[in-house]
Amino acid sequence: MISNPDIKVFPLKILKKLVAIEIELSGEKFLMISVYCPPSEELGDNINEISALLLCFSQEKIVILGDFNAKSSIWGPRNTDKRGNIVHDLINQFDLVVINDRDSLLSFNGPCGISWIDIMMVKNIGVDRITEWEISDRITLSDHQIMEFKIEKENFSNKRGACKWSIENINLFDFKIKVNQSVERCKTNYKDSNKNLNEMIQEIHHILANVYFERRKRNRAKKQKTLFGGTLNWKY
């Protein structure tokens, strides 16, 4: 539910397990996609719906919030499963960026166990604009924990035409620790893995990219002004 009267909302697609809306605030538009993929169903239909939206609105600023019931070492401490690989393919195809911190609190705690299955991904949005992302430990009436985040106002004076890697604004010691941890996890995950070299390279690339983005956005958060924030909790 969006309670801010200053935010204009335009429904684009309303399905049983997927909702896509365009919101406008302060002259800036965002495509927001929320999706639920039950563990008992294949991901295919929902992935196809998301892909169609990403193709149709390829130049929009896009936020995807989804319970994909998929495991991956990119957004959690569990090994990547088949569904996780399908989401990886979506990420690679459309150059999405995963905002989750793999070391966050678990996002699901229910009768079937615990897991990290709720994901936030963005496209065409500078990742340093996403601040205060976290999985809350507040008690809810759902098996899913609340995901919270803020999107900061765009700093046009620093706007670039292309994304560039820079080590100027990151803590190199912290970055090195995270990279070493990721490499050790990869060694463990791939020791007896049937994955081919390309799959391994893609996963390592996303791990390194998200480590970099996580370090960078924490350092730059203090310089931003909040455009809007979100609190997300799935109840099914």
Query: At 89, which CATH number?
Result: 3.60.10.10
Residues 147 and 189 in one domain: no
Evaluate if residue 187 carries a pLDDT over 70.
no
Q: What's the pLDDT score for residue 36?
A: 94
Q: What's the pLDDT score for residue 102?
A: 84
Q: CA-based angle 84:179:126, to the nearest 5?
A: 70
Would you say residue 176 lies in a domain? yes
Residues 127 and 32 in one domain: yes
- Name the band, by pLDDT with cuts 50, 70 and 90, for residue 4: confident
Measured distance CA(17)–CA(48) in Å, rounded:
13
Q: What's the pLDDT score for residue 113?
A: 75
Evaluate if residue 213 carries a pLDDT over 50.
yes
Instruction: Look up the domain containing 42 and give its range.
Output: 7-151
Residues 139 and 189 in one domain: no
How many structural domains is the chain composed of? 2
Q: Which of 71-80, 106-115, 131-140, 222-231 has the highest mean pLDDT?
A: 71-80
Would you say residue 185 lies in a domain? yes
Evaluate if residue 216 carries a pLDDT over 80.
no
Evaluate if residue 236 carries a pLDDT over 50.
no
Would you say residue 135 lies in a domain? yes
